[in-house]
Amino acid sequence: MRITVIEDNEALANAIAYRLRDRGHAVDVILNGQQALDFLDAESADLIILDLTLPGLGGLDVLRALRRRGRHTPVLILTALGSTEDRVEGLDAGADDYLVKPFMMDELEARLRALSRRRALEYSAEESIGPLRFDVTARRLFADGVQLELPRRELATFECLVEHRGKLVSKAQLADHLYGVGASVEDKVVETHVSRLRKRLHEHGVHIKSARGLGYTLVVND
């Protein structure tokens, strides 16, 4: 998944990003409320972690603006403001969950998984790609009922290609999904992930086709 962390405590934001990236997610870290809103106007996110006390534009203002613009991305508020009134105001503004600092990283991850399951209900919680079955929520890939053990970057590559089935996915899109927007990633790194994933999928009749200079797409044998 692609997760946006909007938090002005840079050390905390980076700690959350490190943990989530270690789980195979792409994470974008933004430290300013207005910059976050501008970013989300231009970029997509599967989940948003949002602090309330932000420079530039407060977290509630960011959230209300997103909802006014029809953006229904799940939002978890992560804040030191823990009164009942603060919780009610945050949820009424459009938040999907509310977690008070200090918190345990395991609980944050559990809440994100719960939000991901809710999001999956709006789309498809499971995707069939030829003989393969992809559990979107659990991020697990199966062939004939047996789970395929993919390294996390290859699984994230597959996730991105499935999400854009029928469309070309550029190396830049893959890099953003794997490492977050603005990460300094060379094309050959993306090419390596694609090449390794291609070899794993080939025996199952699922292929990654390249369009020179344009990107990649998933193709299933007839």
Output the domain CATH number for residue 12.
3.40.50.2300
Average pLDDT, integer, range 116-127? 65
| Percent of all residues in the chain with a pLDDT value above 90, rounded to a whole number | 47
Looking at the fold, whether 20 and 116 belong to one and the same domain comes out as: yes
Q: How far apart are the first and last CA of the chain?
A: 29
For residues 104 and 89, membership in a common domain is answered with: yes
Same domain assignment for residues 169 and 113: no
The residue segments making up the domain with residue 77 are 2-121
For the chain, give the mean pLDDT: 88
Judge if 115 and 131 occupy the same domain. no
pTM to 2 decimals? 0.65
pLDDT for 65 equals 94
Question: In this predicted structure, what is the pLDDT of residue 181?
Answer: 66
pLDDT tier for residue 164 given thresholds of 50, 70 and 90:
confident
